[in-house]
Amino acid sequence: MNTTDYLLEVGHDDDIAIITARGSHTYRDLRAATDRIAHQLLALGVALGDRVGLLSANSLFWVAAYLGTMKIGAISVPFSTTLTPEELREAEAFVDCRALCLQKRYQVRMAEGLREDLPLLVDVEALSEVSSAEAGHIETVDVDVDQDATFMLTSGTTSRPKVVRVAHRNIQANTASIISYLSLTRADRMMVILPFFYCYGTSLLHTHLRVGGSLVLNNTFMYPETALNMIEEHACTGFAGVPSTYQTLLRNSSFPRRKLESLRLVQQAGGKLPAVVIKELMAALPDAEVFIMYGQTEATARLSYLPPTLLETKTASVGKGIPGVDLQVVNEDGEPVEPGEVGEIWARGDNITLGYYKAPELMEGKFVDGTLRTGDLATVDDDGFIYIVDRLADFIKSFGHRVSSQQVEDYVMEMPEVVAAAAIGIPDSTRGEAIQVYVVLAKGADLSADEILDHCRRRMATHMVPRDVFIVDGLPMNEQGKFRKSALREQAMKAATG
């Protein structure tokens, strides 16, 4: 089945699908908008397998353009709204778009990044009424489920983008699995602050459309109170975020003091949330189920989850593989590790994507015989639950010891005045690598770098104690809300060399 039909198969025409600050849109509205855009893409000459770019904030237009592109058998290529014109030009040229669906608000800013001969479908035109001859239903193109459905650009926590080929099979398998373990239904209404061009955000769209639920779109999370107000106003049942989301909400907003009684299900993925913050989240939402999850763009979205009933006993775990996914932690010989032994997470399942577009050098060692080698290092306990130690690239070699940057951050986050922390290693003649920690404090917090170091000395082994602590106003993030440690390392090296 074409993924567009799969996602819109059960939604009731009169039910609300999308809610924005400007109003609500039913499934009938969404189907009509999808057909209009599909018709106009066909008129532009877009054919089976062509790439169609998509540059827009979360909106009815984004959703309809995404669905309309896949409906005609073309490949949707969502671009980050944070790209510069030069980055857009390079990315668009790399994937060779046949057309670009563009939100008008970005047309002027991105003008220098747009090819003169690139056909544009601008939102104000794409969603306008069309003639009666053009307004009818567009038949969905049958596709092989292993055909590309979308290209997702991912940079992880680095600045180098990769284009992941996601097939129709991948989306449908991952969507069904997530719906299963979250027990989503037509009654669910998701508060969405994550951009749809990020696989985590797209998974929220996929799952809630598939069950006929609804999504409330908020594109201004830099003002978190707005999102909290919308949760209350629209009685949202679900919320999802990355670690920085919850650290901000719990330590720099009114979130802990609000009841938010409609919330029944909270999702966290996109990086490790410190155990102390997980406990704060549970305390703030005692009646909601909190799902700690793990995933990668290369796996469409999700790979594992921890049942909420185990949060008290296995707080730091990302759980086990989701339904349909075989997840293992293996040693250098590819054999399952013993409890406590560190190895790499490997994954198999129908959600494992086709790999990288035009990048065979990136495929080698990452996608091997249908297995995704994630590059994430982890341990398991006696019950087989997985505990991520760190990204392979983020380990720090201090005084001959391998130090997890995430563990250092966890200790710093024990201090309630700290909103966020990022640890890196830089070359040091004595230590091998010196640990530096960059810390963001809550508004009005009175905490010095020396006090943070004193806390670290009391809590950590000597080889884990940072050499330097820097209190900063903010940490560099990518568009997904993940801290970019590569940018911190570059900054530190420039400072060290003058």
Quick one: pLDDT at residue 450? Answer: 95
Quick one: pLDDT at residue 158? Answer: 46
Listed in order, strand segments (DSSP E) in 396-450 are: 396-398, 401-403, 418-428, 432-441
Quick one: pLDDT at residue 135? Answer: 55
Where along the chain do the CATH 3.30.300.30 domains lie? Answer: 395-497
CA contacts within 13 A on the Cβ side of 363: 15
Quick one: pLDDT at residue 222? Answer: 83
Architecture of domain 3-380: 3-Layer(aba) Sandwich (3.40)
CA dihedral 170, 175, 181, 187 (to 10 degrees): 180
Whole-angstrom Cα distance, residue 289 to residue 278?
12
Where along the chain do the CATH 3.40.50.12780 domains lie? Answer: 3-380
Q: Mean pLDDT by 10-residue block, N- to C-terminus, for the chain (498 residues)?
A: 97 98 94 94 96 97 98 97 92 95 95 94 80 65 97 68 94 98 98 96 98 96 92 98 92 94 96 90 96 96 97 95 97 94 96 95 91 94 93 78 86 93 87 91 92 93 91 85 83 79
Quick one: pLDDT at residue 461? Answer: 86
Strand partners, 306: 292
Quick one: pLDDT at residue 160? Answer: 55
Whole-angstrom Cα distance, residue 482 to residue 383?
30
CATH code for residues 395-497: 3.30.300.30
Q: CB 161: neighbour CB atoms within 10 A?
A: 16
Whole-angstrom Cα distance, residue 498 to residue 496?
6
Whole-angstrom Cα distance, residue 448 to residue 456?
13
